[in-house]
A and B are shown apart, each in its own frame.
Chain A
Amino acid sequence: MKLERRIGIVLRAGVVISSACLAVGLLLDLATSAALAAWLLNAGIVVLLATPLARVVVSTVQYVNQRDWRFAALTFIVLLELVASAVAALVFNRRI
């Protein structure tokens, strides 16, 4: 499958799943403020944040398969930068 189509599928799946979690979570939160609401809202945010990350992973894998080392390396660097921001997030979280 072509990379563009694969990326399109990843992005669409991410948008649908995160929007569904956020919409149901928000309505539940306003109605009952149950624990499930908070879980759904956080799941929606995590899926939202993970969607661009997932499309970078898909690109890296595809470029490695095609033996396009230059772009495999570039997308891998982007992946490392996203991981670095997740690590920074955990460090800030620990300090509070």
Chain B
Amino acid sequence: MPVVTATLALIIFASGTVAGSLGALLGLGGGVFLVPFLNLVIGFPFSVAAAISLTTVIATSSTVSAGRAGKQLINMKLGMLLEVATAAGSFLGGVTAQFVSQSVLQRLFGVVAVVVALIMLSRLRRRNVILDPAADPGILGGRYHEAESGCTVTYRVKRLPLAIAASFVAGNVSSLLGIGGGIIKVPVLNAWCGIPLRAAAATSAFMIGVTATAGATIYYGHGQLQPALAAAACLGVQLGSWGGMKFGAAASAKWLKILMAAVLFIVAAMMFTRGGR
């Protein structure tokens, strides 16, 4: 377990701030940047990096969802249904992670980073399928008011088994690798299950608190979570995601996505070369 010095705490606080603001700008958690930084640059064991990152996922989820609750953007019923699958996946992943070697986890992270980068590049132009506002959203569908366009958006949930399967995989990957897993759920919910992107992202952000708690509790019990470093990272990520959301509208999402996809390809290459040793 690393020794906590003021310099180390400051570096982790700063890296959390950068990861949190990138996450908010790109609409994903910062974990996919924080874990490789802590593991490859600072040199923490993979499980220590993943444990710290999971606590930041919980902090982000609670902060963001507290601000959004009551605005109908979060589809709570759908979220609570899919949580059954993400929490099961996360529990199994958290237990598995205690028996798997660091190099296997690094290679898995490399694969996920490539997939995330490809998804990001393929989704430069977003697509939504939205119903007539008078349509019946059903039990799991939703309806929310979109401030920018001034419209009421109504949608129904399609292909529920696919959403459940994606949630299970996302939960599993989340606690194995220390990321939120939204990057896996959100594109599936949006592209194939009929959920508008903003509702899918808000619902996913709501769910990942429960997902990451199932994983983080196991790491904490196993003594792999260093509370002081988790504190520095959580405070940094909260500052960063607040800043990212506040100033995010001005940034060009397209170029940012291309840049970050490039960063993820480099992360994947580093994970593969380190993981191969």
Q: Do A and B bind each other?
A: yes
Distance, CA A91 to CA B94, complexed state (A):
13
Distance, CA A94 to CA B62, complexed state (A):
30
- Cβ-defined contact, B227 with A15, below 8 A: no
C-beta contact mask, A37-66 vs B, less than 8 Å → 1, else 0? 010011011001101110110010000000
- Cβ-defined contact, B76 with A3, below 8 A: yes
Closest residue of chain A to B54, judged by CB?
Answer: A49
Distance, CA A4 to CA B74, complexed state (A):
9
A85 CB contact (under 8 Å) in B9, B74, B215: B215
Distance, CA A91 to CA B91, complexed state (A):
14
- Cβ-defined contact, A22 with B213, below 8 A: no
Q: Contact size class for B?
A: 35 or more
Enumerate chain A residues within 8 angstroms of B95, measured Cβ to Cβ.
88
- Cβ-defined contact, A84 with B91, below 8 A: yes
Distance, CA A74 to CA B81, complexed state (A):
6
- Asked whether A4 and B76 contact (CB < 8 A) given A42-B227, A96-B223, the answer is yes
Q: Classify the interface of chain B: helix, strand, loop or mixed.
A: helix
C-beta contact mask, A1-44 vs B, less than 8 Å → 1, else 0? 01111011001101100110011011001100000001001101
Smallest Cβ distance from B208 to chain A, in angstroms?
9
Distance, CA A88 to CA B88, complexed state (A):
13
Enumerate chain A residues within 8 angstroms of B15, measured Cβ to Cβ.
none
Q: Classify the interface of chain A: helix, strand, loop or mixed.
A: helix
C-beta contact mask, B1-23 vs A, less than 8 Å → 1, else 0? 00011100100000000000000
Distance, CA A2 to CA B70, complexed state (A):
8
- Cβ-defined contact, A11 with B76, below 8 A: no
Judge if B108 is at the interface, Cβ distance under 8 Å: no
- Asked whether A11 and B62 contact (CB < 8 A) given A5-B69, A26-B235, A48-B55, the answer is yes
- Asked whether A71 and B227 contact (CB < 8 A) given A49-B220, A86-B217, the answer is no
28 A-B residue pairs with Cβ-Cβ distance under 8 Å, sorted by A, are: A4-B74, A8-B65, A8-B69, A11-B63, A11-B66, A12-B62, A19-B234, A22-B227, A23-B235, A29-B4, A30-B6, A30-B228, A38-B227, A45-B231, A52-B210, A52-B213, A56-B210, A77-B84, A78-B210, A81-B87, A82-B213, A84-B91, A85-B90, A85-B91, A85-B214, A89-B217, A96-B222, A96-B223
